[in-house]
Each structure stands twice: as structure tokens, then as C-alpha cells.
Amino acid sequence: MTTAFNTSKPPFNLLSPAELGVLQNNLDIAYFQAGEVIIKAGEPPEGLHILLKGRVAEEDEQDVARPEELRHTYVHYTEEDYFGAWSSMRGRAIHNFVAVEETICHILPTRILLDLVDSNPVFGDYFRNSFAGRFQLRSNGNTSQDMTEFMLARVDDSCMREPLILLEGTCIQDAFALMRERKVDCLLVRRGGRYGMVTGTDMLTALLQQGLSAATDVADIASYRLIQVGHDEYLFNALVLMTEHRIERVVVKDDQELKGILELTDVLSYFSNHSHVLGLRIDRAQTVEDLEEVATGLNDLVQGLNVHGVKVQFAMELIATMNEKVMAKLFNLLVPEDIQPHVCLIVMGSEGRREQILKTDQDNAVLMRNGLSWPEKQSVLEAFSRILARFGYPPCPGGIMVSNPEWVLSLEQWTQNLRHWSQQASGDNLLRLAIAVDAHAVAGNAALFKAARNWFFRELSSNQIFFSHFARAALNFSTPLTFFGGIKNKEHGLDIKKGGIFPIVHGIRTLALEHKVLETNTFKRIEQLINSQQLPEKLGLDLVHALGLFIQLRLQQQLERMKSEGASDKDANMLVVERLDRLDRDLLREALHVVKEFKQFLIQRYRLEG
């Protein structure tokens, strides 16, 4: 049975081949009857126990003599779980480990375990690490080597090009000749203290379509609104930026110093990913049918990202960009061009936070310029919602979408609603306000949305009572932990949205609103709150890891159910704990304790006692 021992999962995959040989050569096998105490509290354990078959309960020291239904069980261990590591390293156990049924275990003697911990610091850190450290080990273990290299790759000299830089006063003819000589298709021109970009296409357009002379100053046809990334920025973020802005190159700067140009072709050659191809197909869609073909394929992109182990924050950023491009393109196809400068499409809720990976209920609204006359708006916006549903974005059960006239409002009406919801923030008003606070613009005139958002920040600037009332919603759902710190798991699963995701999202939402953080993404809000010293750094980083874990575990089980049950998933937020491996169960329990700690922070911060 020794050969059946699985060494491909943490922490055993952290051992070298030689260390694995030592482990395999020293494993014993032991059999325990139901009810037998495997490790007794107060005594040194024989070693690290790895379950091959059966079930083991970790129980309070006083419970051995009690009936099973009266015992306090901290954790249940099943196949491939391990226990006794901490006890072996401490020299004695603090709990009893009891066989619930006939059980067979591998046992790695304490002496060998301690030798491996001493010889392999990474292996030892697994048992000693903080929640954040163990979460990082999980992330590294779930990511393929190729994907790891790409996700961690940064913008540096190896992937960017040295720019051709010309001074103001160079004519188009000379600039074109220099581009051909250098074999590049773009250049930067310096005018005063600013840089502008000119491509070969820009030159042809100037000469052939605009009728300009070849003697024209190349600085006169340059674009000075350059999109830039920082030197040492993640390469993946540069790809998302290019996808978002529909561009093929960005300028690389280190502080204010120009370092080079990053080309889309170079990024894609580093990592072959069809996400940008999807983005281009969205941009080129001329009809609703063209767009539908692309939109219905986004779940395949999600599957691919998950299979390759892409970190959840990267996946959310990329999928959110794709979803927003689909919605913006559909909006532009349906809404007349002369109306678009006077309206703004906003997405709210998880889409507004850019935290939804699989398609979810439509949560959107339209803001309009005060006094706008648009007789066809109802028919156009009903078509928008109907077509989105056809694309796989389900209608909102609560009607929070543009087909509902209640969510198609003038700027004045929108600000009146925000005031009403904040002054009477309970029930539906609280829900609507929470959704609206996470909104951001995706199509039309974004200035309308920004005006409303800035007005609301000013409206709440001195209303501390509101923030205390608003924060209380984060405590609405109990944290699913037992009295003794184990996971409280109901028969049909654990609602991870109520128990884990919502308290973090809403608590951070409250802090962000109070401190006028413009970001809507929870991870980015946390980063800004840490930087402004409104959130302790350790707690903030633990919240990032906890939220990432909750979303990742939920996504994995959603994708599994989609394969076996089809696209419908009525229990999207239910996490079946029994399906998780030991590491994920341990991390889930620790993450829920982080939620509990965060709730205490909110209670003290907003005086929510009682």
C-alpha cells in the first residue's frame, strides 16, 4: 500500500526526489478499529498520520468517555488527509484523534518528519506558516509551470522594444525613411516635455486621406494621449490594458523616465492566449449576431483560465474586461449615435466590482442628461436586456436592469435616489444603495456617472451615523464556524457568499465609501485602504487571500456542476466542504477566522456593539 501514497499534493510535493525516497522508505502502516484512540491528548504521537481509508475525528481531551453525540469535534479527517504534524513538532498532542470507523493510516515517524522539516525549509514552513503563506503555497501548487512563469512575468528590457524617438520639426518623409531603416512600425516624437506616438498607418492616413504634405511636421500628426505601464509591471496587466483600450502598444516608463515600447505581438508571443482575439472579434462585430457568437464563448475562456491555474484576481480582471466590451458593443449597436453622448450605461454589483467570473444576473442602469428627450428609449433598452439574456447573462430577478424604467434615470433623479436610499438605509433601500455604490461606467458618456458619484461623496462627507448603519449589514450573516473553531457545514453545503464573501465585500465597501476611494474592485479598495492606513496591513492582506480563496473554491465547484448538470446552477454559492481536499479545508477554516476577525474590526471601528 506504500506505493499508493499520493505525493503530488501539498505539502509532499515540496520534497525533493531524494527526500521523497526517505519518506517512502520510512512509512509504516497501521490499522485502527472504530472508536480507537489513535493519538491521545497529552502524549507524544508516533508521527505524522496520513489517512488511506476511513475517518478520524479530532476531539476535546475530556470527550473520550462521552457518547458520540455529546462530543465536541473540531475537525473530521478523510482519505488523503493528514494529522499529527503539529503534535509531533510540539512533542505532545493537545487533542484526541479518534477513529470514527475502521481506519488505515500511513505513519511517518516523528524523527523522520523532523529531519525533513530541518532539511527542507519550504516543507517546514508549510506546517509553521501563516494563513497568507499557506494560501501562497496553494496558489503555486495549482498553477502550471508555464502559466506561473507568465503570470509572474514582468515588463522588462527582454520584452520591450527600444523606441525610435524623433524631435519636433522632423518631416513625415524623413520620419518614414527612418522607420523603414530601423524596421519599426511606430515612433515617438518629442514636443516640449511631451511624447507623442505616430504609426505607419497614421502617416498614410495623413498623406492619402487628409492630403497633407510629406514636409508636414510629424509632431503635428502624433497622438499625445499615450497609455503607459510601469517598468516592472506584470506583463498580464499590460495585456489586459491593451485589451481594454483596444490598442496594440503601450509606452513603458520608470517613474517619469521613458524606457521603451511594449508591443502586443511581443506579449502574445510570450504567452499564446486567445483572449485578445476575442477582444478583437468584439470590436469588429457589426451585428448582434456577430457579437452573440463571441459572447457565448466566454465561458470557454473561463474554463481555460481555470484549467491553467490562473490566479483568480487575474482571471476576474480579464473576464470583466471581456464582459464590459460585450455590453458596450451591444449598447453602441442599439443606441443611436446622437443619443450616446447624453446617456451612460453603468454596471453594478459584482460586475461593477469586476469580481464576477461566470456570467451572472444583469445588474445595470442608464443615467441620462437632465431633460433628454428619447422617445424610443424603452423599446431600445428592453431589447438590450433581452439580447443580453440571449447571450447568457440572466435577467435580474429583482428587476435591477435597464429594461425596468426604475433604473433608467436622469442625473437629477439618480442623485435623488441616492439621497433617499442613504437617508432610509434599510431593507430594499440598503440593497439598492450597496449595488449602486459599486457601479462604474462601461458605455456612453462617463462624465454623467462621475458627476453623480462625486456628488454622493460630498453628500456623505459628514454623516458618520450613516456609515455605522451601513456597516452593520456586514454582520447580518453568522460566520459558519463552530464554537470550537471548526467549519459549521450543513448537509447541503456552506453558503460561502453569506458566510465569507459578503462580509468582506460589504465591510470594505463601507470603508471605501467613507474614505472616498474611487476604486470599486474589493481587492484594489483593500490596497488603497492599507496605503492610506485605514486598514491594518496584516488584516488587509489576509482579507485579500481569504476573498480570493472563497471565489476560487466557489468557481471550481460551479465549473464541476456545469459539466455534470449543464449551465444551470441553482446552488451557485453553496460550497460542498466534503469535496475539498485537506489543504483547501484547512485554508477555508482559516479564511473564515479572518472574516470573524474583520467583523470584530468593523464592530470596533463603527461601534456596532449590541
- pLDDT (tens digit, 9 = 90+) per residue, 58-109? 887 765 555 555 556 767 788 878 888 888 888 888 889 999 999 999 999 9
Delimit the domains of the chain by residue range.
2-128, 165-270, 462-610
In terms of phi and psi (left: phi > 0; alpha: psi -120 to 50; beta: otherwise), the region of 377 is alpha
The three-state secondary structure class of 578 is helix
Q: What would the mean pLDDT of 155-183 be, rounded to a whole number?
A: 89
Higher pLDDT, 271 or 405: 405
- pLDDT (tens digit, 9 = 90+) per residue, 108-127? 999 999 999 888 887 887 77
- pLDDT (tens digit, 9 = 90+) per residue, 567-601? 445 678 888 888 887 778 888 988 999 999 999 99
Rounded CA-CA distance 88/98 in Å is 17
Q: What would the mean pLDDT of 8-33 be, rounded to a whole number?
A: 89
Q: How many CB atoms lie within 10 A of CB 197?
A: 21
- Give the pLDDT score at 1: 42
Mean residue pLDDT of the chain comes to 85
Rounded CA-CA distance 425/432 in Å is 9
Q: Which CATH superfamily is domain 2-128 in?
A: Jelly Rolls (2.60.120.10)
Q: What would the mean pLDDT of 480-507 be, rounded to a whole number?
A: 80
> 214 pLDDT band (50/70/90 cuts)?
very high
CA atoms within 13 A on the CB side of 102: 0
Rounded CA-CA distance 96/37 in Å is 7
Strand arrangement of the beta sheet that strand 28-32 belongs to: 28-32, 103-109, 47-53, 82-83
Please name the residue ranges forming H helices in 157-274: 172-182, 200-204, 235-245, 264-270
Higher pLDDT, 527 or 559: 527
Strand arrangement of the beta sheet that strand 257-263 belongs to: 228-230, 249-254, 257-263
Residues near 85 by beta carbon (within 8 Å), at least 6 away in sequence: 48, 113, 127
- pLDDT (tens digit, 9 = 90+) per residue, 223-245? 998 999 988 888 878 887 887 78
Q: Look up the CATH architecture of domain 165-270.
A: Roll (3.10)
Residue type, 517: V
- DSSP letter, residue 573: T
Does residue 10 register a pLDDT over 80? no
